[in-house]
Copies of this chain bind each other. A is one copy, B any other.
Amino acid sequence: MPVEDGAPAAALRRGRPRSTEARDKILAATEELLSEGGFQAVTMEAVAARAGVAKTTLYRWWPNRAAVALDCVSARMTPIVDTSKAASYRERFQRQLKATIRLLNSAQGHAILALIGAKQTDPALAEAYSEQIARPRRAQTRMLAQQAIMAGEIAEGTDLDLFLDAIYGPLYYRKVVSGEPVTDAFIDRIVDAAFTAFGGR
């Protein structure tokens, strides 16, 4: 969401270059505020003050607090890939989903949920969220599903996005929409159901 840092810049850029120091201080301050008071503590005002930065600088690069938080989360978020080995892909998915729910229950997860909340009424944020959070994660998990197909655990020809929605959907649904708790048992059974529906030989 910060301005495109693309290639064409170097050639025709003039004027003082963007201060990476400021950017770093801003994201650090945001991270602190997020963990201290959640997303609603992330005020442009507070971020600027905490970072020792002018509000103008903030607004120069981010349109609103949600964009800042998103940048913070996407830049500093520990990617939740469960790298542990497991007997089967079914089990690997179960572990992966359990790691996901643990993340969502953490302070960082609170920020992510707040962003998901905020993007319901902010199309620009929604787009940014897709690009910086949703799609990269989906790409990762799609690879895992791909491997599961090659291992024969998922039927060949399965629509991977459909499959992934079938397992991640119920998890997020409970967390975000219905507000019911998500237990490990729930995850196990959802993954089992998906493997039953889409399972290969």
Binding site for B on A (CB under 8 A): 38-40, 113-114, 116-121, 126-127, 129-130, 134, 138, 159, 161-162, 165-166, 168-174, 176-180, 186, 189-190, 192-194, 196-198
B162 lies within 8 A of A186 (CB): yes
Known: A169-B172, A174-B165. A38 touches B129 (CB 8 A): no
Kindly list the 4 A-B residue pairs having the minimum CB-CB distance in the complex, ordered from nearest. A117-B120, A169-B170, A169-B173, A169-B169
Specify the chain B residue showing the minimal Cβ separation from A130. Answer: B179
Q: How far is the CA of A159 from the CA of B40 in the complex (A)?
A: 37
Per a CB cutoff under 8 Å, which of B126, B162, B171 touches A179?
Answer: B126
In the complex, what residues of B have CB within 8 A of residue A180's CB? 161
B177 lies within 8 A of A193 (CB): no
How far apart are A158's CB and chain B's nearest CB, in angstroms? 10
Known: A117-B119, A197-B197. A172 touches B177 (CB 8 A): yes
How far apart are A58's CB and chain B's nearest CB, in angstroms? 16
A179 lies within 8 A of B129 (CB): yes
B189 lies within 8 A of A159 (CB): yes
Per a CB cutoff under 8 Å, which of B40, B114, B178, B186 touches A134?
Answer: B178
B39 lies within 8 A of A178 (CB): no
7 further A-B contacts with Cβ under 8 Å, apart from A130-B179, A173-B173, are A114-B121, A117-B120, A162-B190, A165-B174, A166-B193, A169-B171, A196-B196
In the complex, what residues of B have CB within 8 A of residue A38's CB? 121
How far apart are A41's CB and chain B's nearest CB, in angstroms? 10
In the complex, what residues of B have CB within 8 A of residue A114's CB? 120-121
B116 lies within 8 A of A118 (CB): no
Q: How far is the CA of A132 from the CA of B197 in the complex (A)?
A: 33
Per a CB cutoff under 8 Å, which of B120, B166, B179 touches A190?
Answer: B166
In the complex, what residues of B have CB within 8 A of residue A172's CB? 169, 172-173, 176-177
